[in-house]
Each structure stands twice: as structure tokens, then as C-alpha cells.
Structure 1
Amino acid sequence: MNSNIEKCIEIIAKKLEANLHLQRDDLLLGSRLTANQMTNYRLIQTADGIIKRWPSESKSIAAIQKETLDAILTTVKHSIRDIVARMHVETRGMTKSVAPYMQELLTYITHIDQHMAHISRAVCHSHILSQIAEYVIDSFILNATLVRSHLSDERQLIVIDFSRLLEAVRSMEWPSKYGDTSRLLDLFGKDVDFMLKVEGVRKSILVQLLISDSPSEVPLPNQSVKWTPEEYVAWYEDHSELEVLAFLNGLVTSYNSSVISRGQQQYVEHYPRIVKLLQDSF
């Protein structure tokens, strides 16, 4: 009996796969849902109902559903990355309003929520929303560590943008590993001790925050290898935490050598904290 059900579901899975639309334009989430996207979302929900009713026999259809959701998630991440990267090129001045790139990101978040509502059951089971919430937060923080925030005015602008982003994520009720996201604002506060106590943040991010909050004698990670911020972000996301920490350790070692070679007597203020974070990581 079970084998017959499984064979039937395999036939359904093939028909479902044949009717999916997974071209790039079909995966981009805009203000309006296209006919192809509506078809995709109905098929994802249909697959979810079958998986829930016959979990043991639905491996074929579950694989197709996962592949489809992964394709959507990958496109969402690329879009988020492209939008956030513009923080490095926009000229903003000292205005207290949200930056243009952040306004676009907030709009895109509403588009994501609108689209995900059509596949709510499947999204809940696959934890897609938590992955999106964590990625958009992580992407902002990572990019912000590549902005020289040694001056308090620059930090204030980062906090303005980050506050609005966190409000948007909370309003969508997207779960994430961070829990109380308001604590994340301490990453860009004036109190370094509070920053170092923020939970759930990689040590490499803390090191990069300390570097970005230092004078230019310590190069930003991307500057140390003559990369654009976008190139460094792509590299960071493709490498393990240990590999990133090893890279940062090399950067700090190079800075130490330059201080010695110039016969200087003082290091930047955050140098001891940076060294301790790196030492505790190996």
C-alpha cells in the first residue's frame, strides 16, 4: 500500500516540477505577484499538503519543494546583498533621515512578506522567514563593519538605519536567532563593553567593528587586500569563521609590524581588545 502511494506521489512530483517556473524573473519579488509566481506558490502549497498527509512517502515531492524554496531564498539573499551594498556608495551628508538604500530595503522587506504569505505553511515548516530575517540583519551588520565609524556622526547614521531595519523585521514578526533584536543596536553604541557582550554575534564581526571604530592606521578588512566592500562581503560569506579570523589575525599582525617599523610608541585604543578577541578564538 505504501509503495503504491509513493509511486503515485512520484508521478505527482514530476508533474508539479514540470509546471514550476524558476527562471530569474519568476524568482524576483516585486510589488505585484506575476501569474507564474502565483502558479509556483499554489504548487508549493499543494506539495506541502501532500507532505503533511504522507510524510514517509513524499520524499520526491519534498525534494522538489525544498529546491524551489531554496531558489527563492537564494534570489532574496542576492537582492538584499545588492541593496545593502549601496551604503558604501551613497552620498548622504549628515541628514537624520533614513538613507535611500535603507528605504529601498524596507520596501523590499514588505514585498518579501507579501509573497511569503502565499506559501505560509511551507515557509513555516522550512524556516525560510527566520533565514531571511537573520540574513538581512547579518548583511547589514557585516557591511556596516566596513564603514569607518571612528567619528560619532557616522555611527549615528548607521544606528538610524539599523533601528529602522530592526523595527521592520519585528513588525513582520519574522523569528530569528537573535531574539530581542534591540540589543543589536549596542554594536554601534559608544560603550565598547556593551558591544562585546551582544549575544549571537560572530567574533569576526566584533573584531571588524573594533577595527572600523579605529583610526585609519588600521586598514578596514577590504582595504587591506585592495578589495571593494562587495568583494569582501562575498568572500566573507563564502568562508568559515575560522578562516575569516585567520585573515583578520594576519591584518592585525601586519598592523603591529607597521607600528614597530615606524618606531611608534602607541597602538590604536582598541588594539588590546582586538588582540584578545583573536587570541581567544584560536
Structure 2
Amino acid sequence: MECMNQPLLATSLQTAHNLRLLPDLVQNLILDLSSAVEARIKPAFDVSQISKELNAKDPTSSSTGLAYKSRIRQEPTSVTAPQWANALWSRLTNLIDDMAGACVKVYTLEKVVFLDEAMKVLESKPSTAFWAALARSLEKQIRDGAKNSTFLQQTLSSGYPRLLRLFHDFFSKIAVHTDTVYTQERQSALPFARVQQMNESVGQAFQGGARAPPSTAEGTNVARMIANELDAAKFDPLLVRSVARNAKSSLDMLLARADGLVVRDRTATLLAGPTATPQQVQNLSLATFLYQCSTRMRALEEEHSSDLYAILRPSVVDMTETYGRIIDPLLAAIKSESSGVIAKLHREVARSADPLSDMGGSSVYVKELTEKLAFVKTEILARLAIEEVARDWPLKIVRHVLRAFVLHVSIVKPLDETRKLRLTGDMTELEFSLGAFISEGKSRHSSGGLDAIGSEYRALRALRPLLFLETARLAEPNATKGLPPLVVLHHILVRAPIPLPHALHGWQASEYVRWVEEHTEEEALTLIDGGLTHWEKTSETEGRDPEAEYLLLARNVLANARA
């Protein structure tokens, strides 16, 4: 058995068979081998022997007090812990080599022995007896060692992937000589301590509760913990799937706890100022936490197989959706609030009949809008430490403000020279205010100023000359370049006695603008077209001048828009 020479072993066993000693000989060999297995496993997990071994190598240990040496014999200090760990792993590596050799010997014995005769006294095959002895001894020594030594428990738990690699080596060494293959059945479950570690990282993130909700750092820490666990288990496709399943459970727990902290009442979207409400601060912190965590989790799709990421994907998607349910209502509230402020321009431009009244000063609604945007920038955007939000939200908000402003200005009626001058002044103030707002929020990769806004900003710039454009030129595409056809149509109706759509249907100006924002351009043009047709019919019925000049201009603009 020592030399593992199969012909020599066969000759020896044949001799024992001829002497009718084979069954007893094989039984004794198996018993001796099982005892040898246990004798090799026990010292590998003996912490006191590790202590003696290291003390013997360390000449300075003799100067240490006896009481101190007695204490560290079972547990290392923070200084000696790495040496103890290295010694333990060295012992386990040697143990695996020895066990692989013993296993090969057992299977070699089975191949040459006269098994039928030997089985008369053996309770099981030699290989079965070996595996039983190996499993029993490993389980006992690991369980007892972990129970009696915190060092052993922590080292084996934190180094579980390394321990599993040793067993990988073991199975690869015996695979040539046996029919044993590493499968899910031979892989033990992920240690509870590893699972608990992921759950604890989630628990630590929420330990502050509603008063100190998790944010950027906590989201990064949770994601890093899961990513590290997956990386550590990456060498083993079975283990890494087990880690992924447990990571999903941890993420589901994270989502449940985060969802319980989200505030959904009116205080979460109230923009009264001058500071964010406590509920907004709480929600913004949670949103940042979820964003940072989900972003890192999505990056794992590039680092692992699609099958593995499929385990995590549902939780990552839920996390992204939860993040959206927090910030989307807030963005909608910002847009709604700004629209409400802009709608006040209809009262503002008509508040004085004196052409020189308050000339040169900003309108009240422009000042209010400027203050509202400053509040959003300092109290909302600043609390969302998210590059995507810092890049996209200012653009979305400014585009919405410009669309709403241009639409509202286009339906101001009546529109005399005084109101035109006031509106052009408001445009200048608004442009300055929005420029300051977007310059703070844009990312370093975006183009400068309001030019990054695109068509909405071009419409604002084109709106000034439209107010003073000759009526006959309103249908010329070159004269109204940059303006949506709907805005030009509004302005034609403002100059004409023809009622605007909202006046015809009995809507408020703000209701009409909201309707336009919620419907397609073609639907809005159809509404205008219907109003023109209604005007023509009622004019004919009532014997009223149909104002053919304005009707023709409007029809031409409609035709060009639909061409």
C-alpha cells in the first residue's frame, strides 16, 4: 500500500487469498487506514499544536510570561493572528494531500482485491468505509474546533472559499483513480456566518432608522460586500450561485426595509421652502442609497455570467423601481409647481394700465420662479448626490419651464404694446435665471449654458421678435423659425377676434397649457382647426365679419405644419 504498486499489491493479496487470510487482511487494512485518517485530521485542527509550533519557531516567546503564554495557546492576539491563520491553512493543505493519497490507495485496493470473498466479513466496500471515516472525522474535528476556538471558527468562516478550493484540489487529485466528481451534492451550503455577514451589512445601513437613513456610503458598502462575496466564490460555479441566492435574499430584505422608510404623503413633495422638509431629506437620502447600490449591482452583469446575474436581476430591478417611485413624484411636483408660478403671468401683465408702471423691474412671478428654482437647486438637487440627476434634472426642469412659459406667453390676450414690453423684459429675466440654474447643475461633460437645452431655448429666443412681427408675415416659415406651429397659431388668434381654444371651451389658461403638454402636437393642431371651423360657421350664422385675413394666415400655418 505504501508504494501503491498495483502488480505488487495484487501479488500480495493473491498470496493472502491462497492462505485464506484475505478477508481479515483487507478488514485490518481498512481499519488501519480509517485510524490513520482520523490521526491525520485531528492535529490539523488542533489550535494548541499550532500555538506550540509557532512558539517553537519564535525565540522571543520564551521571554513572555507564563500566564500570557497559557492564554494565547488557545487564541492568538491581533498581532499573531495572521501567523496562526497561515499555519492553519498550511496544515489543511498538507491534510488534503494526505487524504487524497489515502483515497487513491483505497480505490487501488478495490481494483485488485477479490471483493466477493472479502465482502463476507466486510460490512461495506473499502471505499464506502473510507468516505464514512473521512466525513465523520472531518465533521467532528471542525465542529469541536469551531466550538472551542473563536479563532478557528472565524478563520474557516471568512476563508470558506479558500477551504473549498482545497476540496477542489482534493477531488481533482482523486478523479483519475475514482469515479468521484465534484457536484452540488458534495458541496456544503454556504456557511451561516457568510450569509449573516451580508445581512449584517444591510442591518448596519438601516441602524439609524428614519432619523439617520442610509445614503451614499451605506449603498456603496452593501454593494461592495455582495460584489466581494461573489468575487471570492467566482472560482466555483456552484458556490457562486449559492452566494448569489443569499445575496438576493439580503437585497430583498434591504428593499423591504427601505420601502418601510419611504414617506409618501404630501410633505414628501411640498416645495414651500425655504428648506427641504424632514420627509424630503429622508426620501432623498434613501433614493441616493438605492441608486448607489443598484448602480453597482447592475455593473455585476458585466462581471459574471448571464445565468448568475439572472438570480440577482429581479432584486436589482425592484431596487431601481423603488428609487424611481421616490424621485419621480418629486420631479413631477417641481414641474407642476413651476407651471403654477408661470401661470400667474396672465394676472401680472394685466395688473396695471399705466404704461410706465414698474417698468424696468422684474415681474413678481419671475422673482417667485427664480426663488423656487434656487430652492430646488440648493435643497433638492444638492441632497441627491447622484451624477445622473445632477446631469439630467436641470435640463428636464429648464425644458419644462421654457415650454410652459412660451405656451403661456403665446396665449396672453389682449396683447398691447405695454404688455409686449413687459413680457420681453420677463423673457430676459427668465433667461438669466435659467442660465444661472443650469450652470450649477450641468455636468462637466455637457455643453455650456442654455444652448444645451435645444429647441425649447430657441423657441424662447424666437418669441421676442414674434411679438412685434408684422401680421402679414406670421405665416412665413422663415419669419417664425424656431417656433412650434402651435405657438404661431396662438399668436395669430391673439391678434384676431377669434377666440383661443381655452376661451372657446371655458378652460383656464393653466388647464389648457396642461392639456397641450399631455397631448400630441397633432391633437393640439386639430383643436385649433376645430376652433377655426366653429368661428367660420358662427360668423356666417350671425352675420359677423369672419376676419378672413387671420383665418387665411391660420390655415396656411396649419397646412405648413401638416405638410
Q: Shared topology, TM-score over 0.5?
A: yes
Q: Which moved more, 1:68-77 or 1:146-155?
A: 146-155
Q: Is the contact made by 2:284 and 2:327 (CA closer than 8 Å) also made in structure 1?
A: no
Task: Write the letter of the residue equivalent to 1:134.
Answer: R
Task: Write the letter of the residue equivalent to 1:49.
Answer: Q
Measured in 2, the distance between the counterparts of 1:188 and 1:149 equals: 17
Please report how far the alpha carbon of residue 125 of structure 1 lies from its aligned counterpart in structure 2 after TM superposition: 7.5
- Structure 1, residues 119-174: CA drift from partner, whole Å, max 9, x if none? 14165378332221111111111111220264232222112112211211111225
Spell out the pairing of 1:227-246 with structure 2 (5 A cutoff). Answer: 227-246=507-526
Q: What is the match of residue 17 of structure 1?
A: 259
Q: What is the match of residue 92 of structure 1?
A: 351
- The DSSP-based 3-state class of the residue aligned with 1:28 is coil
Q: Identity percentage over the alignment?
A: 17
Measured in 2, the distance between the counterparts of 1:183 and 1:239 equals: 19
Aligned counterpart in structure 1 of residue 432 of structure 2, from 136, 147, 167:
167
Please report how far the alpha carbon of residue 106 of structure 1 lies from its aligned counterpart in structure 2 after TM superposition: 1.0
Measured in 1, the distance between the counterparts of 2:391 and 2:317 equals: 15
Q: Which moved more, 1:16-25 or 1:120-129?
A: 120-129
Measured in 2, the distance between the counterparts of 1:179 and 1:263 equals: 39
Task: Write the letter of the residue equivalent to 1:63.
Answer: E
Spell out the pairing of 1:153-164 with structure 2 (5 A cutoff). Answer: 153-164=418-429
- Structure 1, residues 27-72: CA drift from partner, whole Å, max 9, x if none? 1232212322222221111112112211154211110111111110
Structure 1 runs not aligned, ≥5 long: none
Task: Write the letter of the residue equivalent to 2:457.
Answer: T
Please report how far the alpha carbon of residue 265 of structure 1 lies from its aligned counterpart in structure 2 after TM superposition: 8.2
Structure 1 residues 248 and 3 mapped into 2: Cα distance closer, same or farther (>3 Å)?
farther
Measured in 2, the distance between the counterparts of 1:142 and 1:182 equals: 14
Say whether 1:132 aligns with 2:391.
no
Larger gyration radius, structure 1 or structure 2: 2
Say whether 1:48 aligns with 2:306.
no
- The DSSP-based 3-state class of the residue aligned with 1:31 is coil
Q: Is the contact made by 2:269 and 2:329 (CA closer than 8 Å) also made in structure 1?
A: yes
Spell out the pairing of 1:120-269 with structure 2 (5 A cutoff). Answer: 120-121=385-386, 123-124=388-389, 127-148=392-413, 150-173=415-438, 177-178=453-454, 181=457, 184-189=460-465, 190-191=468-469, 192=474, 196-198=480-482, 201-212=483-494, 214-215=495-496, 217-258=497-538, 262=543, 264=545, 267-268=548-549
Please report how far the alpha carbon of residue 195 of structure 1 lies from its aligned counterpart in structure 2 after TM superposition: 5.8
Q: TM-score, normalised by structure 1?
A: 0.86
Q: Which moved more, 1:113-122 or 1:66-75?
A: 113-122
Aligned counterpart in structure 1 of residue 334 of structure 2, from 62, 76, 101:
76
Q: What is the match of residue 370 of structure 2?
A: 106
Please report how far the alpha carbon of residue 260 of structure 1 lies from its aligned counterpart in structure 2 after TM superposition: 5.1
Q: Is the contact made by 1:47 and 1:62 (CA closer than 8 Å) also made in structure 2?
A: yes
Q: Is the contact made by 1:44 and 1:122 (CA closer than 8 Å) also made in structure 2?
A: no
Task: Write the letter of the residue equivalent to 2:548.
Answer: Y
Q: Is the contact made by 1:146 and 1:222 (CA closer than 8 Å) also made in structure 2?
A: no
Q: What is the match of residue 39 of structure 1?
A: 282
Hey, which of these two has a bigger chunk of helix by percent? 2
Structure 1 residues 138 and 266 mapped into 2: Cα distance closer, same or farther (>3 Å)?
closer
- Structure 1, residues 220-268: CA drift from partner, whole Å, max 9, x if none? 2211222221232232233222211111011122333455553748534
Task: Write the letter of the residue equivalent to 2:291.
Answer: D
Please report how far the alpha carbon of residue 18 of structure 1 lies from its aligned counterpart in structure 2 after TM superposition: 1.2
Measured in 2, the distance between the counterparts of 1:210 and 1:6 equals: 60
Measured in 2, the distance between the counterparts of 1:132 and 1:266 equals: 39
Tell which has more relative contact order, 1 or 2 (C-alpha 8 A, sep 6+): 1
Measured in 2, the distance between the counterparts of 1:72 and 1:105 equals: 17
Q: Is the contact made by 2:381 and 2:390 (CA closer than 8 Å) also made in structure 1?
A: no
Measured in 2, the distance between the counterparts of 1:43 and 1:181 equals: 34
CA RMSD of aligned residues (A): 2.6
Structure 1 residues 123 and 149 mapped into 2: Cα distance closer, same or farther (>3 Å)?
farther
- The DSSP-based 3-state class of the residue aligned with 1:172 is helix
Instruction: Spell out structure 1 runs of 4+ moving beyond 4 A.
Output: 192-195, 258-261, 263-266
Measured in 1, the distance between the counterparts of 2:456 and 2:396 equals: 16
Aligned counterpart in structure 2 of residue 63 of structure 1, from 316, 321, 336:
321
Structure 1 residues 221 and 265 mapped into 2: Cα distance closer, same or farther (>3 Å)?
closer
Structure 1 residues 122 and 39 mapped into 2: Cα distance closer, same or farther (>3 Å)?
farther
Structure 1 residues 258 and 185 mapped into 2: Cα distance closer, same or farther (>3 Å)?
farther
Query: How many residues get paired?
Result: 277
Q: Is the contact made by 2:342 and 2:366 (CA closer than 8 Å) also made in structure 1?
A: yes
Q: Which moved more, 1:256-265 or 1:107-116?
A: 256-265
Structure 1 residues 16 and 249 mapped into 2: Cα distance closer, same or farther (>3 Å)?
same
Structure 1 residues 271 and 6 mapped into 2: Cα distance closer, same or farther (>3 Å)?
farther
